Amino acid sequence: MIPAVVLVLAFALGGIQLSGEQLRLQALVAQAARELGRGEPIDPALLGQVSTRAVITQSHRGELVCAQARAPASLGILAGVSLSASSCALDDGG
């Protein structure tokens, strides 16, 4: 009984931490989209705030410039989970 409780608790705490990582990734992508919209390059230090293995890409959709990011979860128990986020901003810099 005790090992099952510990396993459930580990997954619950891992899920909370995973949610926090997802929120940080979404905030990073929103900031990157705003920078791209102003015609500025993406600050490389942004990626390190979420994960050293995060990858960010950009694309254009009409008058919008969009940033997409993917990062593997940094949790041991949920290491197979991949996080992704995207955000767009008006392209004022082009």
Quick: pLDDT tens for 41-92: 887 777 677 667 788 899 999 999 999 999 888 766 667 788 999 999 999 8
pLDDT band for 35, please (50, 70, 90 cuts): very high
List strands edge to edge, sheet with 55-61.
55-61, 64-72, 82-90
- Give the integer Cα–Cα distance in Å for 93 and 63: 11
pTM (whole model) above 0.95: no
Token duo for residue 64 = 């919008």
Token duo for residue 73 = 């979860």
